[in-house]
Amino acid sequence: MKFKGEKHENFYGKLLLIAVPIVIQNFISSSLNMVDTVMIGKLGDESIAAVGLGNKIFFLFIVILFGVYSGASIFTAQYWGKNDIKNVRRVLGVSLVSGILIAFVFTLAIIIFPKGILKIFSKDVKVIELGAQYISIVGISYVFTAVSFAYGFSARTIGQGKIPMAVSAISLGINTLFNYMLIFGKFGAMPLGVKGAAYATLIARIIEFILILFIVYNSNIAIAAKLSELMDFSRNFVVKIFKTALPVILNEFFWSLGMTTYAVFYARMSTEAIASIQIGDTIVGLFFILSIGLGNSCAVMLGNEIGANNYEKAIKYSKKFFQVGIVFSVILTFVLFVSAPVIVSFFNVSDGVANNTILILKIISLFLIVKTCNMIIIVGILRSGGDTKYAMVIEMGSVWLIGVPLVWLGTTYWHLPIYIIVFLANIEEVIKLAVGIPRVLSKKWVKNLVNHS
């Protein structure tokens, strides 16, 4: 049976096919997240801080899912390069079962201990109260997100990135519309404030879940599998996947735990610091979408070539990704540095939050080139060939041995301003790059994981 899927021999043709939908999807997501943040910001610093903390929990959930799905997609990419549809579907099945189980654990914890979880991040009673209202509603959406994310990830890996792109555009548009309606009480609805933002998110994620399943199963693509095909995996198959995926999962978990630890230290500084970081993260997300697109495209393209035994082509592509990444990140560095004051002016926040956010954005802009190269190395090159243990060591070591200690010292003992703390947190990116480049040049990352399947 022939399945839809485009294959280009040209590097830039393949890159555009895979990267453009990812970049557009992330651009839409980041743009609408910024609009949402502007809306919530109109409710005050406490509301934006509460939603920011709620999103930290969702961030932890998504990062763990990303670890599972990213690890599994190493096999999907190589099986797709080998034209092995049966195992592509089995890998999706393993991803779905794993993702749903993770979602249930998070949802249960949120329902039972909403305030207890938020107290880890903040001592502000009002922020905790608002945050608990928010996560108690949004937590219900996690299982829908797990399924949507699994299908979207698999679709991108087989060159069908336009499907999750279209679905995300629709669902995020719905999220923004319902945010406007439910936060402020427009179109006859009651003004619900932070609760309104939570209900809007829940509605959007349910619609996203329905849409992606409908499109996938009404299209002739390889992941439109029956339940029996998804569940047709053995214990040995699961072990094989998780042997490679586990370092990715641990990598993403401990990296996200490091980012969460940063958030805890930031939150203990002040509510202003939380708000500045929340706005800064939202804006930087908009500028970092190209790096995400390049990293994910690199993993897919190199994985396809390795699965097809085209090792020299995979190595050649890895060098081209660096060239493209450096050119675009230099441009984005300049744009973010210059435009930071203009962008921040759209947010209705106090002068203190605005000034701190501008400085945070300018500092992060200086690290964009390094961050982009690290995305290409870890998410793209090393993972494409299953060199996940080395990637894990680089990521975990830099965050926990460099970043976290510096942020801890800066907030607890040196009592530095939030923008200097952000600078300290990003020093680990430079160390990561210095350790990652020699591994790429050694070519030890080129490993075919599906030859004997």
How far is it, in rounded angstroms, from Cα 174 to Cα 154?
Answer: 24
- Residue type for 369, please? I
R_g of the chain, CA atoms, integer Å: 21
Residue with tokens 């959406």: 141
What pLDDT, on a 0 to 100 scale, did the predictor assign at position 3?
Answer: 45
How far is it, in rounded angstroms, from Cα 219 to Cα 223?
Answer: 10
What pLDDT, on a 0 to 100 scale, did the predictor assign at position 453?
Answer: 46
- Residue type for 129, please? E
**Alpha-carbon torsion (368, 369, 372, 374), positive or negative:** negative
> Which two tokens mark 288?
């970092």
Q: Are 391 and 378 in contact (CB under 8 A)?
A: yes
> Which two tokens mark 300?
């897919």
Residue with tokens 């599906």: 450
Residue 119 burial class via C-beta count within 10 angstroms: exposed 0-12, middle 13-18, buried 19 and up: middle
Helix axis angle, 142-157 relative to 11-41, nearest 10°? Answer: 160
Residue 55 burial class via C-beta count within 10 angstroms: exposed 0-12, middle 13-18, buried 19 and up: buried
What pLDDT, on a 0 to 100 scale, did the predictor assign at position 33?
Answer: 62
How far is it, in rounded angstroms, from Cα 206 to Cα 167?
Answer: 11
> Which two tokens mark 145?
């997100």
> Which two tokens mark 175?
């999220």
Identify the three-state secondary structure at position 9.
coil
Structural domain spans, the chain: 11-442
What pLDDT, on a 0 to 100 scale, did the predictor assign at position 6?
Answer: 43
What pLDDT, on a 0 to 100 scale, did the predictor assign at position 32?
Answer: 61
What pLDDT, on a 0 to 100 scale, did the predictor assign at position 334?
Answer: 95
What pLDDT, on a 0 to 100 scale, did the predictor assign at position 29?
Answer: 67
How far is it, in rounded angstroms, from Cα 276 to Cα 360?
Answer: 8
Average pLDDT along the chain, 453 residues, taken 10 residues at a time: 50 86 76 70 82 82 87 90 92 96 95 86 84 91 94 91 90 89 90 90 93 93 92 91 88 85 85 85 84 89 90 92 93 94 85 92 95 94 90 94 95 92 95 95 89 60
How far is it, in rounded angstroms, from Cα 200 to Cα 178?
Answer: 5
